[in-house]
Amino acid sequence: MNYWFHLAIYFTIFATVAISLNIVTGYCGLFTLAHAAYFAIGSYTFAIASANWGWSFLPAAGLGVVVAVILSLALSVPSWRFRGDNFLLMSLAVQAMLAGIFQNWWSTGSTPGSWTNLTNGASGMSVRASEVFGLSLREPGHLLLLGIGILLVCAFITRVLLSSPFGRLLVCMRDDELALRGLGKNVRLARVQALAIASGIVALAGALYAAYARFVDPQVASLDQSILMLAVVLIGGTGNFRGPLVGAVCLIAIEEGIRFLPFIEAGAGTTARVIGGGDVVASLRIMAYGLLLVLLMHFRPQGIAGRYRTA
Amino acid sequence: MSGVRRRVQSRCPGVRAPSPNSYRSGICNDGFVLFQPPHALFQQHFSRRGCHPPCISVVSARPYAIFQFLPSAPGRDTLSCDSLHRGPGRPGHAGCAPDADWVDMQGLQAILDGVIAGMPVALLALAFTIVYMPARVFFVALGGIYVAVPYITKAVADQTGWWALAVPAGLLCGSFIAALCELLNHRLLALRGASPGAHLVSSLGIYMVLVQAVALIWGNDTQVLRQGLDHVFPMGPLSLATSQVISMAVSCTTFILFWIWLRATTTGPKMRAMADNPRELAIRGFNIHRLRLLAFAFAGLLASGAALLTARDVGFDPNCGLPALLLAVVASIIGGRGSFAGPIVGGLILALARSATAWFLAAQWTEAATFALLVGILYVRPNGLFAARGRLEATA
């Protein structure tokens, strides 16, 4: 039973991530590599707020959202005139800098979460068991309820927002920015807002992840994670509502499907045995993603359930 | 969300001991260890003490490496600095502040190291540009080739024992993989009229497959192509390692040959024309598919060269491809993607800036310096240092 809880919670986390990334990739038409860094901002802020000040889940995660929204300006303001490859590189720059902060803001001797040792460097921080409305998040059931709640709220917000004039503005910006500027729309402001919303939602997912995994380290913010997130969204499909959900389902299906391959001797939920020093499940999973990306670009560039051809 | 190796942190590269051939190690005050390469030696040194090698990361290996002890993750062995104090061959505490008699020339040495470190970066940047300009493909899979080639070379050398066979075999393999990428993927996409994004994403997919295949076959450990210690040539107060001499010679020769090829052959000018306007060239009856294939194969060759040079100098592991490629892309943007000289100059500028940052500031800021440079250049000159201004519709 715990295994299914694990899958369901994992699904809610990644579906929330995919929904937020879809705003940037599907509606704004921008590839970003900084998304995992904003995810990690949510995780770290949650970890620090709940450990230092004993905050419960909602205020701590809310603080994470606020921090991520403010820091999203670091990506959106310098890059507001870039598209395509140049935007990709700007997001990469932001990712490198934020990951550098998680990696380097630490010192020996002081407790994790204090001002001189904010992130505890590469060794990561353990996260205090949190609670929401008096329910302890040690219970997988409560955590799952919270995850479903977050997913539904985020999905509702995105849905309303993207079917509003603001959503149409983003779609127009993606399709023909010059024309929109010619019409006198404030394109840059719209993009700043879209990135802020996406960063806020992904920070919420990051807080949920931290509450579930009870441990955060700089690997959460790594470039590989950003690429994985991008792959999930591109495989699921961009530019509409169901694509990211399909992407998250594919993520779970691929990962768990590989776990049950006959030549991998491992129980569910554990790391597979090691061949040649590498983790086989992780390698095969990423390989499957790579193959899927290549095949999809040839046969279905809009993703499995997508509408807009991002690529 | 784990399983990926902890990546390298660099700090105080360029620090070296007074007599280059002596074996020396020392601990910096904050857990960094000065050590001479190769990694194998280092790992032997610590495996005797029951240390788990992945908790150590290589910082700089030219010609004295600085290793950092990563704080242990849960369930992973830690090596205390005390065990190092008792290590063999350690003449005394070195510390991050070097001795007074060799500190004054170290700034110059850091700059020299920086310029030479820029050579492979410039090669890789040239490889990226040679595909990007004519074919408009953001060739991420080049990072995969960069990873695969040293492993292939090492495997061939281990099997046959001939480095003279292994190095050309590695270069050819890299070139061949790149050509396959074009034949099986990018050409088909281009014929379908796919957007640049589709090329980027599928190339990223190929990169993921290549890297994971390498990790599955050969494992995740850091290896180095050279056997034993590298020979160091003292030149007055400065010194050069053999790897650096090879790197400089090979890169400069390649740049000169490439320049001659661009100017003095028949295909070179065609390539330049294609970089300028591929559609027009096709309309005029040239076979652009053959030219594209040539560009990809050439890019694979250059990337393999860069990979081998770096692998001999500082070692390689399956995760080194994307950071190296992205550094090269940053270099090509700084230099400007509008000309073939841009990436070379950009690579040198970038490596110099990184080296200067590491030396005069702190090495953990090299990444920040790299991207600050990128952001600054993109902001002031979005097309790079060596590019003419385009029309608004033409800029990406």
Q: Which of B186, B208, B220 to mutate to test the interface with A (most CBs of A within 10 A)?
A: B208
What average pLDDT does the segment B239-244 reach? 80
The total of other beta-carbon atoms located within 10 Å of residue B32's CB is: 23
Give the pLDDT of residue B42.
Answer: 38
Candidates B6, B43, B140, B201: best to mutate against A (most CBs of A within 10 A) is B201
For range B49-60, the mean pLDDT: 34
Q: State what percent of residues in chain B have pLDDT above 90.
A: 32
Tens of pLDDT, residues A122-169: 778 888 888 788 777 788 888 899 999 999 999 999 999 988 999 999
Say yes or no: B55 and B184 in one domain.
Answer: no
Q: Name the residue among B1, B138, B323 with its Cβ closest to that of A85.
A: B138
The pLDDT of residue A310 is: 58
Distance of alpha carbon A77 from the chain centroid: 20
Mean pLDDT of A45-58: 89
Domain finish residue from B103, B138, B160 = B103
Q: Domain coordinates of chain A in residue numbers?
A: 2-219
Band of the pLDDT at B304, cuts 50, 70, 90?
A: very high
- Tell me the pLDDT band of B74, cut-offs 50, 70 and 90: very low
Q: Which of A117-126, A156-165, A302-311, B41-50 is predicted with the least confidence, judged by mean pLDDT?
A: B41-50
Q: Based on the fold, state whether residues B92 and B202 are members of the same structural domain.
A: no
- The CATH number of the domain holding residue B357 is 1.10.3470
Q: Is A124 left (phi over 0), alpha (psi -120 to 50) or beta?
A: left
pLDDT tier at B389, thresholds 50, 70, 90: low
- Given a cut of 90, is residue B127 above it in pLDDT? yes
- For chain B, say whether A222 makes contact (Cβ under 8 Å): yes
Over the stretch A260-274, which tens digit does the pLDDT of each residue have?
776 655 443 334 343
Q: Using CA atoms, how far apart are residues B39 and B60, in angstroms rounded to an integer?
A: 11
Which of A168-172, A264-268, B386-390 is most confident? A168-172
Mean pLDDT lowest among A251-265, B128-142, B161-175: A251-265
Query: Are residues B300 and B271 located together in one domain of the fold?
Result: yes
Residue of chain B with shortest Cα separation from A289: B205
How many domains would you assign to chain B? Answer: 2
Q: Is residue B352 part of a domain?
A: yes
In terms of CA atoms, which chain A residue is nearest residue B204? A290
What does the block give as tokens for B250?
């090979």
Q: Which residue has the higher pLDDT, A14 or B105?
A: A14
- Chain B CA closest to residue A224: B4
List pLDDT tens digits, range B79-106. 333 333 222 223 333 333 333 333 445 5
CB contact under 8 A, B205 and A220: no
Å between B233 CA and nearest CA of chain A? 35
Host domain of residue B93: 26-103
**What average pLDDT does the segment A43-58 reach?**
90
The pTM assigned to this predicted structure is 0.81
| Minimum CA–CA partner of A310 in chain B | B197
Q: Give the ranges where A163-272 is alpha helix by DSSP (H).
A: 165-175, 177-182, 187-213, 223-236, 242-259
A276 touches chain B (CB under 8 A): yes
Q: How far apart are CA A246 and CA A303, in angstroms?
A: 10
* ipTM here: 0.87
**What pLDDT is stored for residue B279 in this prediction?**
85
Going by pLDDT thresholds of 50, 70 and 90, the confidence category of residue A275 is very low
C-alpha distance from B65 to closest chain A C-alpha (Å): 20
Q: Does A269 touch chain B (CB under 8 A)?
A: no
Q: What tokens does A186 get?
A: 């404030």
- Top pLDDT among B37 and B287 is at B287
Chain A residues inside the 8 Å CB shell of B200: 31, 85, 88, 311
Tokens of A146: 């919270």
What is the pLDDT, as a whole number, of residue B241?
79
pLDDT higher than 60, residue B18: no
Query: What is the Cα A100 distance to its own chain's centre?
Result: 18
Query: Would you state the pLDDT for residue B255?
Result: 94
CA distance B176 to chain A (A): 19
Strand order in the sheet with B65-69: B26-27, B32-35, B65-69, B56-61
d(CA A151, CA A141): 15
Residue B294 has pLDDT above 80, yes or no: yes
Dump the DSSP string for B119-173: HHHHHHHHHHHHHHHHH----THHHHHHHHHHHHHHHHHHHH--HHHHHHHHHHH
Give the model's pLDDT for residue B230: 67
Indicate the pLDDT class of residue B362, thresholds 50, 70 and 90.
Answer: low
Do the beta carbons of residue B170 and residue B152 sit within 8 Å?
A: yes
Is residue B10 situated within a structural domain? no
> Can you give the pLDDT at residue B95?
32
Domain membership flag for residue B6:
no
Q: Which of the two residues, B280 and B110, has the higher pLDDT score?
A: B280
Q: Is B212 on the interface with A (CB under 8 A)?
A: yes
User: Given pLDDT bands bounded at 50, 70 and 90, which one contains residue A70?
Assistant: very high
- DSSP 3-state assignment of A75? helix
Q: Is B71 on the interface with A (CB under 8 A)?
A: yes
- Are B90 and B150 within one domain? no
Q: What is the pLDDT of residue B31?
A: 37
What pLDDT score was predicted for residue A264?
Answer: 57
The sign of the dihedral angle between the CA atoms of B380, B384, B389, B390 is: negative
Domain annotation covers residue B20: no
Q: Identify whether B269 is preceded by a cis peptide bond (ω within 30 of 0).
A: no
Enter the tokens of residue A148. 């479903």
> Of B200 and B395, which is predicted with more confidence?
B200
pLDDT at B15 over 90: no
User: What was the pLDDT predicted at B363?
Assistant: 65
Average pLDDT over residues A228-237: 90
Whether B145 and B92 map to the same domain: the answer is no
Domain final position from B103, B130, B162: B103
Q: Does A309 touch chain B (CB under 8 A)?
A: yes
Taking the C-alpha atoms of residue A236 and residue A250, their distance in angstroms, rounded to an integer, is 7
B35/B117 same-domain check: no
Band (pLDDT 50/70/90 cuts) for residue B388 is low
Residue B205 and residue B277 in one domain: yes
Asked whether residue B76 falls in the same domain as residue B164, the answer is no
Q: Residue B158 pLDDT more than 50?
A: yes
pLDDT, one tens digit per residue, over B164-214 is 899 999 999 999 999 999 999 999 999 988 888 889 999 999 999 999 999
Q: Which of B39, B68, B103 is the last residue in one of the domains?
A: B103
Mean pLDDT check: name the lowest of A15-19, A92-96, A291-295, B78-82: B78-82
Interchain CB contact of B387 with A (< 8 Å): no
Pair B255, B205 in one domain? yes
In a domain, B241, yes or no: yes
Q: Are residues B178 and B306 in the same domain?
A: yes
Report how far Cα B8 is from the mean position of its chain's Cα atoms.
13
Quick check: B356 contacting A, CB < 8 Å? no
In this structure, the answer to whether residues B288 and B315 fall within a common structural domain is yes
Closest partner residue to B6 (CB to CB) among A82, A122, A231 is: A122
DSSP states of B313-335 as a string? HT-B-TTSHHHHHHHHHHHHHHH
For an interface test with B, which of A83, A85, A285, A300 has the most B Cβ atoms less than 10 Å from its Cβ?
A: A85
Cβ contact (<8 Å) for A282 and B3? yes
Do B65 and B140 fall into the same domain?
no
Partner B, chain A 181-220, Cβ-Cβ below 8 Å: 209, 213, 215, 217, 219-220
Q: pLDDT band for position A107 (50/70/90)?
A: confident
With an 8 Å Cβ cutoff, are B208 and A290 in contact? yes
| Any domain includes B388 | no
Residue B277 lies in a domain: yes
Dihedral class, residue A306 (left if φ above 0, else alpha if ψ from -120 to 50, else beta): beta
Residue A47 has pLDDT above 70, yes or no: yes
